[in-house]
Amino acid sequence: MNATILNRRTQSPLALPFALSFENNKNGRTLNLGETVILQREINSFLSALRSRGITEGVQFHLG
pLDDT tens by residue, 2-60:
778 888 998 887 777 777 788 877 787 777 777 777 888 888 898 888 888 887 766 55
Give pLDDT, residue 64: 54
Q: Are 9 and 3 in contact (CB under 8 A)?
A: yes
Give the global pTM.
0.50
Residue with the bigger pLDDT between 63 and 29: it is 29
Provide the pLDDT for residue 62. 58
Q: How far is CA 52 from CA 34, 48, 57, 60, in A?
A: 17, 6, 12, 20
Rounded Cα distance, 27 and 46, in Å = 27
Helix runs in 1-64, H state only:
43-52
pLDDT for res 42: 86
Q: Which residues contact 64 (CB under 8 A, 6 or more apart)?
A: 5
